[in-house]
Structure 1
């Protein structure tokens, strides 16, 4: 074996690939970080615009729930209940528990709290003139989680 490396394409020794002064990439890193922060803030601000406010979501889920009950679609109504209520009420018992007096219509909503967690109280007026209040919680989306007689 020889001490000299093999033949070169050119007569000179191989030159280092990077001979210039290194460039700083701080500007690029700051731009990426700033863009990430801007996207995060935009998502936080835009999410309620896309999903709607808690009031709108509560009205919507209650409306779908009442429509399902009105069409005897008890499986859909049962799936719109919170986990606790689904475990407590069988699908064929949902109408008896939540809509004993016929068809209902959402007439009002109000923010509230249960055990320190925010909820929406949705007032439903039934065809016979009576009212009840459905509690809507946020549990993998808005879910109906209880009923009480209206005032």
Structure 2
């Protein structure tokens, strides 16, 4: 330590004078809080965004409403990347809604290239049905149709 004149009469006080406390409780509480937040997000996210079935019904309903209103840009934007690349906006109604207006009548679980997907059944005004495939691609996106 340095010798010499000090501003005060006493030597400089040591910075840490108390007995050291173990940080075990703090570390465990931080880890426990992180785990609680992660579990809360995993449980709460489907409640906020909806189940895959709900998301598929919603996006298909918006897609069909856009086609019924001749809003091809919105309908084209709701397609998956492969379908947007394959079809120009003007071709979407002929490919996806050749029978006029449609209504969502059911959903089932499916798979596309090993990834989970939803198959959404649509009933058209003339009574025919078709199935739209909805995949998760930066949100739910329509990615194909098969006549019923």
Aligned length: 147
Runs ≥4 residues deviating over 6 A: none
1:17, distance to aligned residue in structure 2 (A): 2.0
Indicate which of 94, 99, 102 corresponds to 1:101: 99
Deviations 1:101-126 (A, max 9, x none): 10000001100112211111000000
Indicate which of 13, 29, 32 corresponds to 2:30: 32
Determine whether 1:135 maps to 2:137: no
Which has the higher mean CA deviation after the structures are superposed, 9-18 or 86-95? 9-18
1:20, distance to aligned residue in structure 2 (A): 2.0
Question: Structure 2 CA distance, aligned partners of 1:92 and 1:140?
Answer: 23
SS at match of 1:128: coil
1:11, distance to aligned residue in structure 2 (A): 2.2
SS at match of 1:20: coil
TM-score normalised by length of structure 2: 0.95
Q: CA RMSD in A?
A: 1.2
Question: Structure 2 CA distance, aligned partners of 1:28 and 1:76?
Answer: 51
TM-score normalised by length of structure 1: 0.93
2:18 paired residue number: 20
Which has the higher mean CA deviation after the structures are superposed, 23-32 or 56-65? 23-32
1:32, distance to aligned residue in structure 2 (A): 1.0
1:18, distance to aligned residue in structure 2 (A): 1.4
Structure 1: runs of 5+ lacking an equivalent: none
Determine whether 1:78 maps to 2:76: yes
